[in-house]
Amino acid sequence: MRFGTQFTGTVTAGQTRTWFTHSWNAASNVVWSVVPTAPVVDGAAQVEWKVRSTRQATNLVKWFIEVKNVTNVPVTFQARYAVLDG
């Protein structure tokens, strides 16, 4: 198993944005998570996220990560991945 951070982003208050990351091995099983990094809040959720994909080539996958800020302040986050095999 491999873990990592693919990118860091910021969403303003109430904003929804989509990022993409391309050329992932289509034979691998990848799990995505979004983890807020700032501001530090010990309370309700700060973000919601959705993950979609497309087969960009026979052996490649492009991932789309949509992040929604559910607070009234900007939130910075990390888009993290876990490759379960391959």
Choose among 19, 17, 26, 25: nearest CA to 5: 19
- What pLDDT is attached to residue 28? 97
Domain coverage including residue 16: 2-83
The residues of the chain scoring below 70 in pLDDT are: 86
C-alpha distances out from residue 54 to 6, 8, 13, 23, 86, Å: 18, 22, 29, 10, 19
Whole-prediction pTM: 0.94
- What pLDDT is attached to residue 68? 99
- What pLDDT is attached to residue 86? 59
Total number of domains in the chain: 1
